[in-house]
Amino acid sequence: MEYKSKNIEDTLALASKLAHLIPYGSVILLNGDLGAGKTTFVQGFARAKKINEKITSPTFTLLKIYAITDKNCLVHVDAYRLENALFEELEDYINENNILLIEWSHNLKNQEIFEQYLAIDFTYISKNQRKITLTAVGEQYQKIIEGMKQNV
């Protein structure tokens, strides 16, 4: 599924719509050039999940955990500095209580830990415009994309 974002507000709105369809236990892989909108997307997703903390990319800490409920969390990962590296601890966060949003996921060497996922690729078109492509790997994520097609 392709979506054209004309501005930051469009990206935030898309993230919000997706956040309402994504169940706990989901893995979302975010890729694109610097400044393409990955962190903006995470901000919109977090806002829709009622997370009031300021969302910044955890480039140096690698991950940040935000509580959504008493037992559910949003795990925001930035793999920018992990080019072709293993991030073995990541497996600890893939469970039915968390939603993982992983920026620069293509930098991870241990891609096989993602059996099913939703890949979102951000392509820079112009200063304000981005092409956002959603790709489902697994039946659960295909249903989410079908739901998005009805809501966008």
> For domain 2-151, is the CATH number 3.40.50.300?
yes
Question: d(Cα 107, Cα 21) in Å, to the nearest integer?
Answer: 27
| Eight-class DSSP state of 86 | -
pLDDT (average), residues 67-85: 87
pLDDT of residue 15: 96
31 in Cβ contact with 117 (< 8 Å): no
pLDDT digits (tens, 9 = 90+) for 139-149: 999 999 998 88
Classify the phi-psi angles of 6: left when phi > 0, otherwise alpha if psi is within -120 to 50, otherwise beta.
Answer: alpha
Mean pLDDT, rounded, of the chain: 90
pLDDT class of 85 with cuts at 50, 70, 90: low
**b/e burial code for range 64-101 (CB count within 10 A of at least 16 → b):** bebebeeeebbbbbbbbebeeeebeebeebbeeebbbb
pLDDT of residue 31: 95
Cβ burial of 147 (10 Å; 0-12, 13-18, 19+) is: middle
pLDDT digits (tens, 9 = 90+) for 87-140: 778 888 899 999 999 999 888 876 677 889 999 999 999 988 999 999 999 999
pLDDT (average), residues 51-56: 93
pLDDT at residue 1 tops 90: yes
What predicted TM-score, i.e. pTM, was given to this entire model? 0.91
Domain regions of the chain by residue span: 2-151
For residue 126, the tally of other CB atoms under 10 A from its CB is 7
